[in-house]
Amino acid sequence: MTTLSIFDQSQPEHARTVTQNPSEIRELLATKGIRFEQWPTRDLPADATQEQILEVYSEEVARLKEECGFQTADVVSLNPDNPQKEAFRQKFLDEHTHSEDEVRFFVRGQGLFYLHFGDQVYAVMCEKNDLISVPDGTRHWFDMGPEPEFTCIRLFSNPEGWVADFTGEDIASRLPRYEALAEAGG
C-alpha cells in the first residue's frame, strides 16, 4: 500500500506522521511541490519489453511530454534475481539532486522515495499505479530494497537520462531503510 512517513531529521528513528490515504498523501506532497497521482495500470506480461510497456502507456507518456516538456521516456525494471541488484541499490541510496524533474510511474512493484525538506524527510513508499514527480533541485534518494521488484516508466528533459549531483550529506544513512518501512507498513 502507498504510504507516506514524515520524519524529523533530529529524530530519524521514528516517523511523526504516517498515512496511507492517497488524497492526504497527494495534499501533503503538494505543499512541498511534489506531484503525486494514481493512474490506472494495465495488465502486461511479466516479460514485457520496454517497447511494449511504452506502447501500452503511449497516451499518458505523450501527455506528460507535452505538458512538462520531457524529451525522452524509458523503462527501468529490476527483479530479485538480478545479479547486480546490490550495486543498483547503492547507486541511488545517497542524497542527490537533479537539474530536471525526476518522474516515475510505477507499472509494477514498489520503491521508496525519500524527499529532504529542511529538517524533515518525507518517505513515500510508491507502488503500482503511483506517479511521482520530484522537482529539479529537490534533495532526495531512492531505496528499492534488498530484493527489488519494480518496473517504472521514467521521463527526462535531458536526453542523456538520469544525471545526479550528490550532496555529500549523510542523512540517507540515518533514516530507516526500505526493509524497516516496508515491514512496518510505513
Asked whether the beta carbons of 21 and 3 are under 8 A apart, the reply is: no
Q: Give Cα 72 distance to the centre of its chain.
A: 18
3-state helix, strand and coil shares in percent for the chain, rounded to the nearest 5: 25, 40, 35
C-alpha dihedral over 58, 72, 69, 97, to 10 degrees?
A: 120
Q: Is 102 annotated as a binding residue?
A: yes
Q: Is 14 annotated as a binding residue?
A: no
Q: Is 140 annotated as a binding residue?
A: yes
Q: Is 98 annotated as a binding residue?
A: yes
In sequence order, what are the beta bridge partners of 97? 165
Q: Give Cα 130 distance to the centre of its chain.
A: 9
Asked whether the beta carbons of 95 and 9 are under 8 A apart, the reply is: no
In sequence order, what are the beta bridge partners of 108? 151
Query: Which residues are annotated as part of the binding site?
Result: 96, 98, 102, 140
Query: Which residues are annotated as part of the binding site for Fe(2+)?
Result: 96, 98, 102, 140
Query: Which residues are annotated as part of the binding site for Ni(2+)?
Result: 96, 98, 102, 140
